[in-house]
Structure 1
Amino acid sequence: MAENQKDVVLDVDDKPKFGQWIGLSLQHMFSMFGSTVLVPLLVGLNPGIALFSSGVGTLLHILITKKEIPAYMGSSFAFIVPMMSLMKTTGYPGVAAGVISVGVIYLIIAGIVAMIGTNWIDRLLPPIVVGPIVMVIGLSLAPSAAQSATLLNGKYDIRVFIVAMLTLGVTIFFNMKLKGFLGLIPILLGIVVGYIFAVLFGLVDFQPVMQSKWFALPNFEIPFVNYQPHMYWNAIIVMAPLALVTITEHMGHLMVLDDLTGRNYFKEPGLQRTLAGDGAASIFAGLVGGPSVTSYGENIGVMAITKVHSVYVLMGAAMFAILFSFVGKLSALIQSIPGAVTGGISFLLFGVIAASGLRILVDNKIDFDKKRNLMIASSVLVIGIGNAYLQVGSGSEVVQFSGVAIATVLGIALNLILPKEAASEADV
């Protein structure tokens, strides 16, 4: 076990006690819930189905990766624009064709990786590339957290900012002061206390909770049952290429998990299995009426803070997600958690991911007096954090590669192209 993993509370294959298990799993479910249901709400899909497919998708991913990777699969933001367009033109059958095609691309690339092996990964992703990319993954999410922590219905509201900062403050306090079991669930406690603050400041609407039913079966969209499947080539052409974007982000998340857990998941259980897990999760989501899924940074942040890496905790979170997708009032109650609370929590979660990238650079003693290292890190950080994205096409045919994806590709390219020393350094 690596030096910075010696203080781990629960390792990947450790099982928590039953009472701890419930609290730790609920903490993960609360952390991913807001983003997972936001995507279907924006697109026009059923949030209950998205929650259900995220839970089943997570269990599929864990099964395919041999219970070795603690990752949670939630709704992907990368496909929002094309899915919104497809919902208007083709309805869900078109979206399903696109979501399933994304999963198929993952499986194809997983097959290629299985054939050629993973020895190339160490050469493409040394610490000088991995560290800045991991930092970008955390810091690129900062604007989302800041908006949640300041805006109400698109307008600045001081109450939102106050509640966000109070939520952040109590969560930091819980992290620093609590011991025992309570010390393992500071995020969950921070959300609960933040929610109470939000209620006191009038930011919570209980009407949807009162109106929802206790039991609500999601309106699944199943091929040959709810609709006749068809090859929607426009949906496939628009969405399938975006799999390359989420694959780069997937690899970035693996880098963070490698650092957190002291393992090399690219080699064991292997990148081919992690890609296959993501692909199977997306295909399942497309078959039941959900959006495409991807691994979630929020849950990685929770693991970084709590030092609990147990895959069984993630399995528990997945099972809670499946259960809650059928309990209308519970789902509505969690959906009533305002952005002020999730924004305050996200300041910490996303920041911890960024700090993990910084730790990679420090632990590997990266020398920034060398121009090569400085050029790589500088370019990756600014492009990724600033989200200098590449957009190809227009309208429903648009394909957008995020700043994180561009930064990842650029970092890999610069590492391969740049010489070990600059000309000026060679003369010294």
Structure 2
Amino acid sequence: MSHRDDVILDIHERPSFGQWIGLSIQHMFSMFGSTVLVPILVGLNPGIALFSSGVGTLMYILITRGKIPAYMGSSFSFIVPMLALMKTTGYPGIAQGTVAVGMVYLIVALIISFFGSDWIDKVLPPIVVGPIVMVIGLSLAATAAKDATMNGNNYDLRFFAVAMITLLVTIGFNMFLKGFLSLIPILLGIIAGYIAALLFGIVDLSGVQSAAWFSLPSFQIPFISYHPHMYWGAILSMAPIAFVTMTEHMGHIMVLNKLTDRNFFKDPGLTHTLAGDGTASIIAGFVGGPPVTSYGENIGVLAITKVHSVYVLGGAALFAIIFSFVGKLSALIESIPSPVIGGISFLLFGVIASSGLRVIVDKQVDFNKKRNLMIASSILVIGIGNAYLQLGQYTFSGLAVASVLGIVLNLVLPDKAFSER
């Protein structure tokens, strides 16, 4: 395809060296806040998350034949089961769950290559996806509130003040900033909250002072860092959620189709895009990072800058890998106190829940239909209440139970109840 006049750089056009550095760093900062926030919330190493997001993005670009300008960052959808697994199995369980998520993507990609993708809409219609996404956000509300108020086992007014400052400043950045700064309100909000926390005297900088400038991230590699064995509960808690993030993945592809005037579902094809996303998560699982997914933040940058070059996204991935080896940066990230994370989480988790509501509204789901009311109600209460399933040593989170139940109810319930006929 020839160069489009309405864009500055098309997908396969290369920027100059100076432009490449500036544009790539801009993309890195756009994804930076959310990508490192997920491991901070769960208790993983943020440096590893940066590394795995960079390597995962490069693999995605390779598998999609350099045809899609997308960035793979840490996924928020798996926070609930990862928090539970961190308390029981530690990272080995999370690793297996993360690899399982990637394998689900690869299996679905293989199925699509043989049978097409029409069946996905039947398994995951808006009435199932919307409530599940709402559960992902709302089930984390208590965690955000605890981070924002509790210093150990005691309520701390300073924590609440820092959390509220962080929240309100971030809202202000989202609403009133323009240009490049409008693309990184989460990062700016964390910085502002960190400064407030310093003023309130609740930041421990000893780890930053002792950290080396350059250090190898503490990768969690099976048979080297730990001896793995099968954690079926971890696998079955995380793997079903992959079907939810697939819908997000396909939604991002739709946006990119419109933005770049391409049809990525046909070329390189959904098989390649899902395989790229799944491979990125498998890589993350083998080095110690969380599952990854395509990032809307970077799609926003593409839309605003009109620079669609895949080389710029590849450059952002390289910078993320380089930054992951800066020891003081990782230590600085880890020194962010919980009320700052809590304040940011109020907004982020709420936005996730609101995104689920938007799916329901945009698709005009009719709640006058009893089947829709039954499906949504069951998913919301089981998921938010975390009605987990315990079978021997295996635990399935409320989110996983709600996801499976929602899919089954959607497949077996008739379109109309007998009283509606």
User: What TM-score range do you get, normalising by the shorter chain?
Assistant: 0.7 to 0.9
CA contact (8 A) 1:99 1:283 kept: yes
Mapping of residues 44-83 of structure 1, within 5 Å: 48-65=47-64, 66-67=67-68, 69-73=70-74, 77=79, 78=81
CA RMSD in angstroms, aligned pairs only: 4.1
- Secondary structure of the equivalent of 2:390? strand
Aligned match of 1:31: 34
CA contact (8 A) 1:136 1:385 kept: yes
Aligned-residue offset at 1:165: 0.9
Aligned match of 1:369: 368
In 1, Cα distance between equivalents of 2:49 and 2:343: 24
Aligned-residue offset at 1:341: 1.5
Runs of at least 5 residues in structure 1 that lack an aligned partner in the other structure: 1-8
In 1, Cα distance between equivalents of 2:320 and 2:216: 14
1:421 to 393, 410, 416: 416
Aligned-residue offset at 1:198: 0.9
Aligned-residue offset at 1:274: 4.7
CA contact (8 A) 2:241 2:403 kept: no
The 3 A distance-change label for structure 1 pair 138 and 257 is farther
Aligned match of 2:346: 347
In 2, Cα distance between equivalents of 1:317 and 1:153: 37
Task: Say if 2:212 is the partner of 1:217.
Answer: no
CA contact (8 A) 1:133 1:357 kept: yes
After superposition, give the CA deviation of every residue in 1:365-420 in whole Å (9 maximum; x if it has no partner): 222222222112211222222222223331xxx3x333222222222222222222
CA contact (8 A) 1:29 1:317 kept: no
- Secondary structure of the equivalent of 1:332? helix
Aligned-residue offset at 1:102: 6.2
Give the alignment's TM-score, normalised by structure 2: 0.77
Letter in 2 for 1:329: K
Mapping of residues 8-157 of structure 1, within 5 Å: 19=22, 21-36=24-39, 39=42, 41=44, 48-65=47-64, 66-67=67-68, 69-73=70-74, 77=79, 78=81, 103-104=102-103, 106-157=105-156
Task: Say if 2:386 is the partner of 1:387.
Answer: yes
After superposition, give the CA deviation of every residue in 1:204-253 in whole Å (9 maximum; x if it has no partner): 111111111111123556689x69x98x6x33656554552342343354
CA contact (8 A) 1:164 1:341 kept: yes
Aligned match of 1:188: 187
The 3 A distance-change label for structure 1 pair 124 and 262 is farther
In 1, Cα distance between equivalents of 2:309 and 2:396: 31
Aligned match of 1:248: 243
Aligned match of 1:408: 403
Letter in 1 for 2:133: V
Aligned match of 2:178: 179
Aligned-residue offset at 1:190: 1.4
- Secondary structure of the equivalent of 1:181? helix
The 3 A distance-change label for structure 1 pair 113 and 386 is farther
CA contact (8 A) 2:147 2:341 kept: yes
In 1, Cα distance between equivalents of 2:134 and 2:301: 16
* Farther-moved stretch of structure 1 (134-143 vs 238-247): 238-247
CA contact (8 A) 1:28 1:302 kept: yes
Give the alignment's TM-score, normalised by structure 1: 0.76
Task: Say if 2:331 is the partner of 1:336.
Answer: no
The 3 A distance-change label for structure 1 pair 294 and 132 is same
Aligned-residue offset at 1:201: 0.9
After superposition, give the CA deviation of every residue in 1:104-136 in whole Å (9 maximum; x if it has no partner): 565344323432321111222222222222222
Mapping of residues 146-295 of structure 1, within 5 Å: 146-218=145-217, 234-235=229-230, 240-242=235-237, 244-251=239-246, 253-254=248-249, 257=252, 272-285=271-284, 287=286, 289-291=287-289, 293-295=291-293
Runs of at least 5 residues in structure 2 that lack an aligned partner in the other structure: 1-6
The 3 A distance-change label for structure 1 pair 424 and 240 is closer
Aligned match of 1:4: none
